[in-house]
Structure 1
Amino acid sequence: MASQAEGPPPPLGETIEEPGIQQNGVDLNQEQQPNTHLQGWALVSLVIAFMAICFVLALDNTILATAIPQITSDFKSLNDIGWYGSSYLIAQMAMLPTCGRLYAFYNIKWVYCISLIIFEVGSVISAVAPNSMALIIGRAVSGVGAAGLVSGTTTILSYCVPLKKQAKLSPVILGLYSTGSAIGPLVGGSITDSKTLSWRFIFWLNLPFGAIGLVLIWISLRDPPPAVKGDLSWRVKIRQLDILGATLLLGATSCLNLALQWGGIVYPWSNPKVFGCLLGFGLLLISFVDLQARGKETATVPLRILRGRTVVASCCFMMLVQVAIVLHSYYWPIYFQSVRNNSARDSGIFLLPIIVSNSLGTLCAGWISSKSGHYVPLMWIGAPILAVGGGLYQLVHSQSPRGHWVPIQIASGLGYGMCSQMPILAVQVVLDKTDVPTGLVIIMFFQMLGGALAPSIGQNLFTDTLLRMLNAIDGIDGAAVVAVGAGEFRRIVPPELLEVVIDAFNSALKKVFWVALATPALAWLVSWAMEWRQIPNTKERTTEDPEVVSLRNL
């Protein structure tokens, strides 16, 4: 490729032009927009920046899980467990397609840096939050910034790094992402248990990594390549951003989350507020689908791509298994801290089996699918294993030894790792090359949707079951126990009733893990709708659209 031009590397921030690649199916030569590849220290700075940012994004995804019991105790907000995770994911999910299109219309350096600043502002709001609502708002703001960072990383790589180097650099960046995901619960637990720090430091921790990334991005992209569609009028840009679609989607998912968290707990399911949320969800969803149908190719989710059964099955499969793994990630720490009375740090350590086995399952599945060329069998195998992990929790109790719950976590992580990447491969196999980037964004969209709904579903089941069981115990005020939080209820429960209350917590958790069994079981049924296709073993697949490569690897 032209990136291997003769002569010494250019100085920091300078680029080498290379025409002829495509972005979102548009040939840059036709758009009169030359592509540029970074060289030398500019490329090194860009990679280090992405490593720092991907690390903090991964850390942010998992670090909060072990701190949630303490947060609920500080804010007396056990009813808000679902919002701490779902507010971040809903905002990220709704804004991901719109943020992705911003990079086609405007200066990529400015869009990325502004996204990073928004993410950091959300972290500051969360760190100084005086109450639960402020924390939820901060998480939502961070989610908007994260949407811009996720889509921007893939786009900037496709603009500025040649394909051969992408293949070498992506594993390096991915390695930092995996590391951040793995150590997140341990770091979160250690910070929460610290005598000098509190859970608020979890959010302050994002600032130095963001600052490093911001400075390096600014230096390395001193002369960024022009936007692919930067010459369009501002009216056309606004229309193609589909801001209305993102707003409708954000409103629909928020209404559904409110209904799931209120129904049967704060209000009866027949309450007008709950019914109104469900009605709002339905109307907003219908409006969103109608808008996408009329928008055709400028829509956030082009319905044309969803006509193939493999794409639809892949989206449903990804959403269902994501619900299961998020429930595992959020509610195992609740078990360790509320049922077993472990510290937040220990609960982070005890969560490592599911995280490590997830990584190993992903690596093994990638090797098997690349060697065999088949991905559907891994969906058939992985989803039932994940379901078994959810089902086996029914055997767990307050005195369960490690030999019981460690294998359960390993099964869950291994099953998810084996099957979770297969829909991404399937979309690339069945779609035309120009449709693959959009198809991958849709898959990511449904993955985030599952992750956003899971905490709310879990919270509804957990809190409803816990309240009913606690209110049935003489001498226990169920509302007071729930209000004080999962980490502090032992202070207000009489010693002679403590064991009964602990059993109530464990029984409520078992209800949640029934969902972690049901959703992968449904995913297994959905996987039978997949077309039996094989991954092409041709050179063409190794020279695919750079955005496809970067989206898949990230």
Structure 2
Amino acid sequence: MFLIGLYTIMDSVLYVPIANELNSLSQAEWIINGYMITTTALQPIYGKGSDIVGRKAVIIFATLLLLAGSVMCALAQSIEFLIASRAIQGLGSAGIYTTANVIIADLFSERERAKFMGISSCIWGLSTAIGVILGGVVVQLSTWRVAFWINVPIAIVIAMISWKTAHLPPVTGTAREKLRRMDFGGSILCLISIVLILLGLSWGGRDYPWQSAAVLCCLILGSIIGCLFVYYEHKVPIEPIFPLRLLRQRNVAIALVGHLFFGAITYAPTMFIPQWALLVKNTTPITSSLYTLPFTIAESIFVMLTGFWVDKSGRYRECVWLGSCFLLAGLTPLVILDQNSGLGIIIGCQVVAGIGFGLCIQTLILTGQASASGSDVASTTTTCLFMRSLGAILVVAVLSSVNGNVRGSKFAQLTSEFPDYAAEISKISENQSLIHKLDIPVELFDLLVAGFMRGMRAAFTALIPFSALYLLVVVGIKHISLQQTRKL
């Protein structure tokens, strides 16, 4: 959990400076998307795979994948190779994060689980606080490649600890029997569907018109394959990665839809606020990284407190309700941010949103787990995590597209108004740091900063409906008592 938290938040600080150095700001979000696509698509199969081959084998295998991807990222010389390397990192992260949560569900009853899930999430929150500072320090004082090398010794330690000290029950059966039970077909269909839809959302209105063949084909074909995935899961696999029968249970269905919106609204601030600080406030990488600390600190405190309270009281529904209100209240005021915004509003918004995040992150999973039988807890847990990651990846695509479209339109207007500086404007659109290095008039400088701000505001505005939808979805949660013994 520490390792995954470290890199989840470090991305938000690293990806703009990396894109600037590689002169590929328009492709910056794919440094994150490449990682999140594979993390999202593989989470369900890791959960089912750990049922079939064992938790220990999955964690060690995933850690080695993360290690290989980190080394490749550190050695990358082009944006394309870096994105591919990030995808390999995502393959490993999916296994580590998913299996860690499933093991907690294995070991403890639902009431005890709340406490230990709170502890693990608190560790995740503390690592994000460390990661955000570490990312800024690395970018400003060294090279971004160091951030990926840091991962190597941590991954080796995790693999060794898992190998030597994780005493988990072995899974019986031959290799052939285990392979037959794996739902590779469903995972491939899920991956293709996500990639196509994400491409369509990322390209639309920026690289291609929304009505273009490229965008429409990606969105339509991705949706068709998504429907085919649902049909395939219902009819074909011996053990589907997600048993569709669970959707008949009210709280499981609400938990899954809720995680879709929850992932969207909680990942976006950690990505866009450091970007706003770099592009609009012209902060250093270290300073931009500090802007997210109020969120991560508030989350770490309240996820721990929530876990102990749920363990003591057995109540979780009220935490989800209250957390959804805090998230809406904390994220909505981001639309008023501008070049002159002070620290007070930034800190206040993020503390409120961080409290909401801490109240919801584990109680929303418990909502689904409490309604599932013992044999379905792993599938429910991994599918909730999958939906959370899917929400995050979709909102990154949508908000990045909104941001890029608005910013691109403003830059095109400025190019026509300042034709003598067209080359400089084009360079700045791909490397924001050049705005302070190129010789441009003060008037143009102010208008370019305003263009960056306009794009960020559009992204923050688009975030509000996701927050409102999350609140409306979780209102329907029915309280089901948490068991004090492990389900079988």
Q: TM-score, normalised by structure 2?
A: 0.91
CA distance in 2, matches of 1:242, 1:63: 32
From the superposition, tell whether residues 154 and 360 of structure 1 become closer, same or farther in structure 2 (CA, over 3 Å): closer
CA contact 1:58–1:180 (8 Å) conserved in 2: yes
Which residue number in structure 1 is paired with residue 71 of structure 2? 124
* Other structure's SS at 1:417 match: helix
Which residue number in structure 2 is paired with residue 89 of structure 1? 36
CA distance in 2, matches of 1:296, 1:482: 51
Which residue number in structure 2 is paired with residue 396 of structure 1? 337
CA contact 1:102–1:111 (8 Å) conserved in 2: yes
From the superposition, tell whether residues 133 and 410 of structure 1 become closer, same or farther in structure 2 (CA, over 3 Å): same
From the superposition, tell whether residues 370 and 330 of structure 1 become closer, same or farther in structure 2 (CA, over 3 Å): same
Select which of 446, 456, 470 maps to 2:411. 470
**Distance apart, 1:372 and its partner CA:** 4.9
Which residue number in structure 2 is paired with residue 516 of structure 1? 463
1:412-466 per-residue CA deviation (whole Å, 9 max, x = no partner) reads: 2222222333321211222333322221222111111112212111210110000
**Distance apart, 1:101 and its partner CA:** 3.1
CA distance in 2, matches of 1:79, 1:413: 29
Q: Are 2:156 and 1:211 aligned?
A: yes
Which residue number in structure 1 is paired with residue 486 of structure 2? 544
**Distance apart, 1:112 and its partner CA:** 3.0
- The letter of the residue matching 1:491 is K
CA contact 2:114–2:311 (8 Å) conserved in 1: no
From the superposition, tell whether residues 543 and 458 of structure 1 become closer, same or farther in structure 2 (CA, over 3 Å): same
- The letter of the residue matching 2:470 is A
**Distance apart, 1:276 and its partner CA:** 1.4
* Other structure's SS at 1:298 match: coil
Which residue number in structure 2 is paired with residue 306 of structure 1? 247
1:119-146 per-residue CA deviation (whole Å, 9 max, x = no partner) reads: 1111111111111111111111011112
* Other structure's SS at 1:508 match: helix
**Distance apart, 1:292 and its partner CA:** 0.9
1:97-123 per-residue CA deviation (whole Å, 9 max, x = no partner) reads: 222333343365544322211111111
CA contact 2:122–2:300 (8 Å) conserved in 1: no
CA distance in 2, matches of 1:479, 1:471: 9
Which residue number in structure 2 is paired with residue 504 of structure 1? 451
CA contact 2:20–2:431 (8 Å) conserved in 1: yes
Q: How does 1:421-432 map to 2 (within 5 A)?
A: 421-432=362-373
Q: How does 1:75-474 map to 2 (within 5 A)?
A: 75-106=22-53, 109-154=56-101, 174-194=121-141, 197-220=142-165, 225-227=169-171, 230-232=172-174, 234=176, 236-295=177-236, 298-370=239-311, 372-473=313-414, 474=417
CA contact 1:86–1:451 (8 Å) conserved in 2: no
CA distance in 1, matches of 2:411, 2:312: 53
CA distance in 2, matches of 1:429, 1:104: 19
CA distance in 2, matches of 1:191, 1:209: 17
Q: How does 1:5-20 map to 2 (within 5 A)?
A: none
From the superposition, tell whether residues 243 and 348 of structure 1 become closer, same or farther in structure 2 (CA, over 3 Å): same
Larger helix percent: 2
CA distance in 1, matches of 2:169, 2:292: 43
Q: TM-score, normalised by structure 1?
A: 0.80
CA contact 2:371–2:480 (8 Å) conserved in 1: no
1:523-553 per-residue CA deviation (whole Å, 9 max, x = no partner) reads: 111123222x1434xxxx232149xxxxxxx
**Distance apart, 1:67 and its partner CA:** 1.6
1:75-105 per-residue CA deviation (whole Å, 9 max, x = no partner) reads: 2222223222222222122112222333343
* Other structure's SS at 2:378 match: helix
Greater alpha carbon shift after TM alignment, 110-119 vs 285-294: 110-119
Which residue number in structure 1 is paired with residue 21 of structure 2? 74
1:46-81 per-residue CA deviation (whole Å, 9 max, x = no partner) reads: xxxxxxxx3222111111211222112112222223
CA contact 1:327–1:512 (8 Å) conserved in 2: no
From the superposition, tell whether residues 481 and 382 of structure 1 become closer, same or farther in structure 2 (CA, over 3 Å): farther
CA distance in 2, matches of 1:319, 1:167: 21
From the superposition, tell whether residues 176 and 381 of structure 1 become closer, same or farther in structure 2 (CA, over 3 Å): closer
- Quote the RMSD (CA, aligned, Å): 2.7
- The letter of the residue matching 2:460 is F
CA contact 1:96–1:151 (8 Å) conserved in 2: yes
Greater C-alpha Rg: 1
**Distance apart, 1:288 and its partner CA:** 0.3
CA distance in 1, matches of 2:363, 2:104: 23
Greater alpha carbon shift after TM alignment, 248-257 vs 420-429: 420-429
CA contact 1:427–1:439 (8 Å) conserved in 2: yes
Select which of 441, 460, 465 maps to 1:494. 441
CA distance in 2, matches of 1:110, 1:358: 31
Greater alpha carbon shift after TM alignment, 120-129 vs 420-429: 420-429
* Other structure's SS at 2:481 match: coil
CA distance in 2, matches of 1:446, 1:318: 6
Greater alpha carbon shift after TM alignment, 340-349 vs 470-479: 470-479
CA distance in 1, matches of 2:333, 2:214: 36
CA distance in 2, matches of 1:332, 1:62: 12
CA contact 2:126–2:297 (8 Å) conserved in 1: no
CA contact 1:69–1:487 (8 Å) conserved in 2: no
In structure 2, list runs of 5 or more residues that go unmatched. Answer: none
CA distance in 2, matches of 1:109, 1:311: 27
* Other structure's SS at 1:63 match: helix
CA distance in 2, matches of 1:367, 1:224: 26
CA contact 2:373–2:487 (8 Å) conserved in 1: no
CA contact 2:321–2:474 (8 Å) conserved in 1: yes
1:191-225 per-residue CA deviation (whole Å, 9 max, x = no partner) reads: 0000xx2111111110011122223333336x874
**Distance apart, 1:289 and its partner CA:** 0.6
CA distance in 1, matches of 2:394, 2:87: 14
CA distance in 2, matches of 1:169, 1:364: 11
**Distance apart, 1:402 and its partner CA:** 1.0
In structure 1, list runs of 5 or more residues that go unmatched. Answer: 1-53, 547-554
CA distance in 2, matches of 1:168, 1:410: 22
CA contact 1:121–1:142 (8 Å) conserved in 2: yes
From the superposition, tell whether residues 403 and 64 of structure 1 become closer, same or farther in structure 2 (CA, over 3 Å): same
CA contact 1:87–1:452 (8 Å) conserved in 2: no
Between the two proteins, the alignment pairs up a number of residues equal to: 481
CA contact 1:296–1:302 (8 Å) conserved in 2: no
Q: Are 2:426 and 1:480 aligned?
A: yes
CA distance in 2, matches of 1:389, 1:315: 23
